[in-house]
Each structure stands twice: as structure tokens, then as C-alpha cells.
């Protein structure tokens, strides 16, 4: 049986978004910050304190969202 490779990029992007979302939510939990139910990576990132390097290094996450 051969795998259908036409859907692979879509699945890779979905998993990348999920990993980024979970990492942001884990950082928020670690910081003790409540966050709304959202999948918007920019909105989640913007809740983090400015002192965290992720705020400066990753200015725009809309494309991944």
C-alpha cells in the first residue's frame, strides 16, 4: 500500500501549529497566566511577559495560525 503524499504538507503544517500552540499555552501555565480558549498564536504569545525571548524572536505567528 502506497501513502498518499498529496496531503502530507497540510498535515505537517497542522502538527506544527499544534506544537506551537501547546508550547505557548505551556509557557502561560508556567507563568501562571490565565488564557482564553483560542487557537490564535499571536493572541496567546501577546499574553506572555515581554521579558520572555519568544516575544522578541517570533514577532509574527499569523501565518502559522
pLDDT digits (tens, 9 = 90+) for 4-58: 666 688 888 889 899 999 999 999 999 999 999 999 998 998 898 887 766 556 5
Secondary-structure percent of the chain, ordered helix, strand, coil, rounded to 5? 60, 0, 40
Q: Is residue 1 part of a domain?
A: no
> What is the domain extent for residue 47?
7-57
How many separate domains does the chain show? 1
Please check whether residue 63 lies inside any domain of the structure: no
Q: Is 53 helix (H, G, I), strand (E, B) or coil?
A: helix
CA dist., res. 15 & res. 57, Å (int): 21
The model carries a pTM of: 0.76
Amino acid at each position: 500500500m502506497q501513502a498518499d503524499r498529496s496531503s502530507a504538507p497540510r498535515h505537517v503544517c497542522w502538527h506544527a501549529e499544534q506544537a506551537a500552540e501547546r508550547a505557548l499555552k505551556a509557557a502561560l501555565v508556567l507563568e501562571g497566566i490565565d488564557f482564553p480558549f483560542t487557537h490564535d498564536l499571536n493572541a496567546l504569545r501577546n499574553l506572555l511577559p515581554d521579558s520572555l525571548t519568544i516575544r522578541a524572536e517570533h514577532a509574527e505567528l499569523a501565518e502559522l495560525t
